[in-house]
Structure 1
Amino acid sequence: MRLRYYSMVAGMLLLVSCSKELKVSSAPDFEVTLDKTSYKVGDEVFFNIKGGAADEISFYSGEINKQYAYKEGRTIDISAASLTMELQNSVQLGAQVNQLAIMYSTDFNGDYSSVAALKKATWTDITSRWPLATNATFVPVVPALPASQDISRDISALKVPGKPLYIGFRYLTKSQAANGIARQWFVQGFAIKSKVQYDGTSPIVLANQANAGFRIVDDNKVNDARALSLVTTSRITLQGNLYRHPGLAIYNPDDPMYDPKNPKYDPRDPGFDANAVFPKFVPFDPSSPYNDPEVEHWAISKAIDIDRISIEPDYPESIKLYNNQPLKQHKYIYTTPGTYKVVFVAANRTIDETKSVVREITVTITP
C-alpha cells in the first residue's frame, strides 16, 4: 500500500509539473548593423548580426510584398482609378441565335434564389463591348481594333461610388423544336482589374475566373428542364436544357442502358464502369411542360468591390530556426534601385510563450 501511495504522489507531482506554463526567460539580445548604408544593384549586402542565437529570426527585405509594415495586409483605395474587364468566349453545337448576353448591375441585393429575385435589380446589357464567338475558337481578350478605338475593355463608366459591381451572363433557351438545338457557350479568362499599380508593375486584379464566385441561377434546377450549365474555377459553361422527344435513347426501353446484363454494370467484367448507375425506365410523357420550354438562366458573380481592395499580408523570409546554428551574418542581393526599410524580427519561443524584438535598418540601392 505504501508503494502505491508514493506512486500516486509522484504522479500528481509530475502532473503539476507538466501543467505549468513554459516561460521564456527573456527576449533576444539582438542587433543588426551594416558596414555602409549604400550599395549598388547586384551587390551582396551583408547584414551583421549580434545575438544570432535567437530561436527564430525573420527577415523583411523592404521590397514590394516583403514589407514589415504590411505584415497584417493592406487596404488600397481604388475608387478614383479606371477599371477594365477581360473575357474570352467560344461557342459550339446547336443553331439558336442571340442566346448569350453579358450584363451588369450595381443594385443587385445578392439574392441568388431565383431568376425572378435577381431581376428585381437593374441589369444593363454590355454585350456589344465584346465580340461574341461564332465557332469553337475562343475570341481573344483584346479585339483586333486600332489602338484609338480599343475601348471595349474599359468599364469605368459602369462604376457607382459606394456600390459593388455584379457581372452576369444571361442565357436564353427558345423552343428547340422550332429554333434548333440550344448552343453551348464557354467563358474563360474573365478578369476585372483596377489600373492602380500598387507594386509598380501590373494592375490590381479585383476578380478573376477562379475567385469571381460565379453561380448558376436556374429556376428549373430541380425538374426535367434544368440547364446543363456549370461553373468551375477555370470556365463557365452555359447550355440549355435537354430537348426531350420520343427519339431520345432514354425513352427506348430496348436501349443497352436498360439491359441488366450490360458489361458496364458487372464488376467482374473488363468493361465495368464504377460510375454507371442502372437507370429506371420512364416512358416519354408528351404532355410534360419540361420537354421543350422557353427558359432563361444566369451565371452571376459575387459582389465586386470597386472602391477598395485588401491585399494579403506580406510575409518574411525565415533565416533561422530553433535547431539552426547561431547566425552571424545575413547576405541579400537587391535587383532594383531604391531606399528600403529592412526589418529583422528575432524571437525566443516556447510552446506557451514568445518574446521578440524588432530591429529596423535602412539601406539605399543605387543603379
Structure 2
Amino acid sequence: MKKIFLFLSLITLLACEKQEDLAKFTVSLDPNNTYIAGDPVIFNLSGNPDYISLFTGEKGSQYEYRNRTSVNEEGTKLVFRFSALVSQRAPENSLDFLVSTEFGGITRKGYSTDSALLKNTNWTVLTSELNLPTVQNGSSNVEVDLTEYIDKPTSIAFRYQSDARANVRQPHWELTNIGLFLISPDGVETPAELDIQSLFGNFDYQDKTNPYLYNTTSTNEGKWYKRTVNNSINLRWTEKGTNKPSNLDYLFINPIILNQSKPDMPIGIKSVHEKLSSYSYVFSEPGTYKVVFVAKNHDYKEDKEIIREVVVNVN
C-alpha cells in the first residue's frame, strides 16, 4: 500500500511540474528577421510543452475564428452564382429562380404529398433580378444577392416550365459553376462552406412513380441530368422532343443556413516526442498578422493550454 501511495504521489508531483513548465512557455521574434514578404520569419521558443500549434493570422488560420461555424460579421454579403446556357429553342420564361424561408423540405413520402408541398410553398420569385439568357443558344454568368437570407434557414429552387409546341423542341437549360460566396465588408470573397451543388434534389411532375430521380444518361427526355465535370456539378435539363406534352420540374435545396463556415485551423508544429527552440514561417503577402501559439500539456487528470500572441508586420 505504501508503494502505491508513493507512486501516486510521484505522478501528482510530475503533473504539477508539467503545468508549471507550461506557464514558462514564451515566444519572441528573432532579432535578425527582415519582415519582408517571402522571407522567413523566425520565432524563438522557450519551454518544452507537449504540443504546440500555430495560428498564423492569415485567412483561414485566425485564432478568434477557431470555433466559428457561420459568418455573421456585420456588412457581409451573400451572393449565389451560376453559369446558364439555353439551347434548342428560345427560353421564353421557362426557368425561374425561387427562394423561400417557409418551405419545410421534401418528405419523400410520395408524389401527392411532395408535389403539393412544392406548389403550395410561398416562394419568392427572383428571376427578374437575374441576367438569364433570353435567346436560343444564349449564355450568361448569373449573380443574385441573397444577403437578406444570410442567417435564416432558406431553400433555393429552380423551376422549369415549358409548354407543348408542334414541331418544336422544348428549351434545354444547362447550369454550371454553381456556388455561394461570402463577401466581407472590406471586399474579401470566400466560398461558403457548403457543397451547394450536391445538395440539389429533383422533382419531376411528369413521373408519378419516382419523381425524385435524376436522369442517369443525357439521352432521356424531360428530366434534369446531374453530372460532375471538372470539379463542377453540371445540372443539365434534357429537353423533350417535338410534339411532347408540357413539362414542370423543380431543382431544389431543402432548408439550410446559407452562411455556414468551417472553423479556422492551426498548424501543428510540435508533438510530445519533439523539442523545438524556434520555428520559421513565410508570409507570402504584406500585412499585419496576429500570430497565436497554442501550447498544451497532457497529464492523467486533464489537458492544460496556454496561448502566446505576437504581432508581425510584414512589408
TM-score by length of 2: 0.69
Q: Distance in 2 between matches of 1:36 and 1:337?
A: 18
Q: Is the 8 A contact 1:103 1:123 kept in 2?
A: no
Match of 2:47 in 1: 51
Do residues 110 (structure 1) and 58 (structure 2) align? no
Alignment match, 1:297: 249
Q: 1:342 to 1:166 in 2, by over 3 A?
A: same
Letter in 2 for 1:122: N
Q: Provide the alpha-carbon RMSD of the alignment.
A: 3.8
**What residue is the counterpart of 2:280 in the other structure?**
331
Confirm or deny: 8 A CA contact 1:58 1:317 kept in the other structure: yes
Q: Distance in 2 between matches of 1:79 and 1:121?
A: 30
Structure 1, unmatched stretches of 5+, are 1-22, 143-152, 245-291
| 2:228 matches 1:228 | no
Distance 1:316 1:238, change over 3 A: same
Quote the residue 1:218 is aligned against. Answer: 204
Deviations 1:268-322 (A, max 9, x none): xxxxxxxxxxxxxxxxxxxxxxxx433311111343546xx34211211111234
Rg (Cα) greater in structure: 1
After the TM superposition, which residues 1-367 of structure 1 pair with which residues of structure 2 at under 5 Å, given as runs? Answer: 25-26=14-15, 27=18, 29-30=21-22, 31-35=25-29, 40-42=35-37, 44-52=40-48, 54-77=49-72, 81-92=76-87, 94-95=88-89, 97-98=91-92, 100-112=94-106, 114-128=114-128, 129-132=130-133, 134=135, 139-141=139-141, 153-155=143-145, 159=148, 163-175=152-164, 178=166, 180-197=168-185, 202-206=188-192, 210-211=196-197, 213-223=199-209, 227-232=222-227, 234-240=233-239, 292-303=244-255, 305=257, 309-323=259-273, 325-334=274-283, 335-348=285-298, 355-367=303-315
Separation (CA, whole Å) in 1 of partners of 2:210 and 2:266:
54
User: Match of 2:132, SS?
Assistant: coil
> Taking structure 1 as reference, are residues 190 and 78 closer, same or farther at Cα in structure 2, changes over 3 Å only?
farther
* Residue 337 of structure 1: how far off its partner (Å): 2.4
What do residues 1-25 of structure 1 show as CA deviations (whole Å, max 9, x unaligned)?
xxxxxxxxxxxxxxxxxxxxxx895
Q: What is the Cα deviation at residue 82 of structure 1?
A: 4.4
Contact 2:85 2:140 in 1 (8 A): no
SS in 2 for 1:119: helix
What CA deviation, in whole Å up to 9, does each residue of 1:57-116 have, x standing for no partner?
Answer: 222223332123322225432575544332211134x44753632222334423335333
One-letter identity of the residue aligned with 1:188: T
Relative distance call for 1:160 and 1:32 in structure 2 (3 A) is closer
Cα separation, 2, equivalents of 1:365 and 1:159: 36
- Structure 1 residues 216 and 70, CA gap change in structure 2 (3 angstroms): same
Counterpart-to-counterpart distance in 2, 1:74 and 1:341: 21
Alpha carbons 2:94, 2:161 under 8 Å: kept: yes
Instruction: Name the CA distance, whole Å, in 2 between partners of 1:68 and 1:337.
Output: 17
For residues 366 and 207 of structure 1, the distance between their equivalents in structure 2, rounded to whole angstroms, comes to: 29
> What is the percent sequence identity of the aligned residues?
17
Asked whether the 8 Å contact 2:42–2:280 carries over to 1, the reply is yes
Give the whole-Å Cα distance in 1 for the aligned partners of 2:150 and 2:275.
54
Q: 1:354 and 1:64, CA in 2 relative to 1: closer, same or farther beyond 3 A?
A: farther
Q: Distance in 1 between matches of 2:180 and 2:314?
A: 36
Unaligned 5+ runs, structure 2: 1-10, 108-113, 214-221
8 A contact 1:32–1:361 mirrored in 2: no
Q: Determine helix, strand or coil for the equivalent of 1:131.
A: coil
- The offset of 1:210, in angstroms, is 3.8
* Matches of 1:218 and 1:75, distance apart in 2: 33
Partner-residue secondary structure (3-state), 2:207? coil
Q: Could you state the TM-score of these two structures normalised by the residue count of structure 1?
A: 0.61
Supply the distance in 2 between the matched residues of 1:99 and 1:140 (Cα, whole angstroms).
15
The residue identity in structure 1 corresponding to 2:117 is: A
Looking at secondary structure, tell me which structure has more strand per residue.
2
What displacement does 1:167 show? 2.8
Given the superposition, is the C-alpha separation of residues 183 and 310 from structure 1 closer, same or farther in structure 2, using an over 3 Å criterion?
closer
Pair 89,342 (structure 1): closer, same or farther in 2 beyond 3 Å: same
1:219 CA drift (Å): 2.9
